[in-house]
Amino acid sequence: MANMVQRGIQSLRTALGCSKFGAFRYYTPPVSSSLQQVYEPPAYRYACVLSCNCIQLSFFVLFNKIRIWTSKLGMSGEGLKKEEGYPCSIAHTQCIKAANACDDEYASLDWDNLEFGLMPTDYMYMMKCSKDENFKQGQLSRFGNIELSPSAGVLNYGQGILEGTKAYRKENGSLLLFRPDQHAIRMKIGAERMCMPSPSIGQFIDAVKQTAFANKRWVPPPGKGSLYMRPLLIGTGPILGLAPATEYTFLVYASPVANYFKGGMAPLNFYIEDEFTRACPGGAGAVKSISNYAPALKALLRAKDRGFSDVLYLDSVNKKFLEEASACNVFILKGNLISTPATNGTILAGITRKSIIDIARDLGYQVKEQAILVDELLDADEVFCTGTAIGVAPVGGVTYQGRRIQFRVDNDSVCQELHTTLVGIQTGLIEDKKGWTVEIH
């Protein structure tokens, strides 16, 4: 294999007329057994980092193929060293940088007509552990199917948690993540409730950063959307009786998405659901569990069939206090007071919700987290919702027991002010004084 590498170097030297190359590093990337049937089998890869006239060439020699990427990185050669730890090794990082740099800056998409839907990208991130261990170093792999036993805990008992976060492209080309630490903390809290091991906060953030960077060409141009990333924590080990799974998988995949509202903030039209409830006291309503979402489909689809955007759920005990919508938190405005239902165990503590509370207070509004009666909602000046997917979205009207109420929606609304401020911070147009964003170069 070493002779093959040396012959490759000599061939490149001859073809390019170059005389100076750096030494090469080599390493063995671990490949999970579940991916070997879909992707390349594990093999020793010799990553040659070469420099010539400020052109860096990084190439892998696998037993049956050679890939060459070129990029104007202006890096010097690296010393000979063997490493394990794909994809965190310097060699792999440089390979991804080179691959991204030599490809088109953006994927070949019609960014002006991008939809808010699933569009698979190049890479996903994955790591595993047993129920009695901590997660170790994970790896990037090509996006594709994963292998599961029919008796996997997630399939039989719904033992799984999801998150949703975004990467935004700044005008200078770098990427911004918004509060990934808060998503990591929420996953850890949920994992404890679901009897699952979870990645550390650092592991979570690193996984999201790697996924965003590896899929950088899929991050929409500034103002065209974002790269939506879905971290998943699922019980993949086989079980029969009701018990925690024996093995767990943490993975992150990504999809470019358009802004939820294209061409302006279209108001939502809500139906207040008084038959079905989303959560009950003592349950798992405050956890972003995968098992919380399928039960909401019945009410959601029924509302959509009647022309509504979504449903607003009421509490399960009295059915007169607001809870939340299918996948977002709700706020009401009356005068200078902004109110939102308190997170009392039945409502998901949204990261966008938390951010908007802080932003609103900074802008001089009074904010209360408290129980909100339906009648208070119907008497509100404005109503809006928050979530990772929608950001801050105005509610134009609600229907409750046959009564239709309209709310203020215009460019001078409080909702619009909050939306503009939030998006400005997320995209780097407004100074982030709170340290919420993480920049990836």
Whether residue 10 contacts residue 22, with contact meaning beta carbons closer than 8 Å, is answered with no
Peptide bond into 295 cis (omega under 30): no
Residues found in the chain: 441
Cβ 211 vs Cβ 163: under 8 Å: no
Amino acid in position 201: I
Element (H, E) at 369: strand 366-369
Q: Are strands 268-273 and 55-62 parallel, antiparallel or unpaired?
A: unpaired
The span from the CA of 322 to the CA of 376, in Å, is 9
Q: Is 434 a catalytic residue?
A: no
Residue of 431, 412, 435 whose CA lies nearest to 421: 431
Do residues 175 and 440 touch, judged by C-beta distance below 8 A? yes
CA 74/CA 82 separation, integer angstroms: 23
Compute how many other C-beta atoms are within 10 angstroms of the C-beta atom of residue 292: 21
What SS3 class is residue 366? strand
Give the list of residues 6+ apart from residue 56 with CB closer than 8 angstroms, or none.
Answer: 49, 50, 70, 71, 72, 73, 74, 75, 94, 98
Pick the catalytic residue from 170, 188, 288, 368.
288
Classified as helix, coil or strand, 91 is helix
Tokens 């309503």 appear where? 285
Query: What distance in Å separates the CA atoms of residue 204 and residue 104, rounded to the nearest whole number?
Result: 29
How far lies 197's CA from each of 135, 204, 229, 239, 354, in Å?
8, 13, 21, 16, 25
Which residues are tagged catalytic? Answer: 288
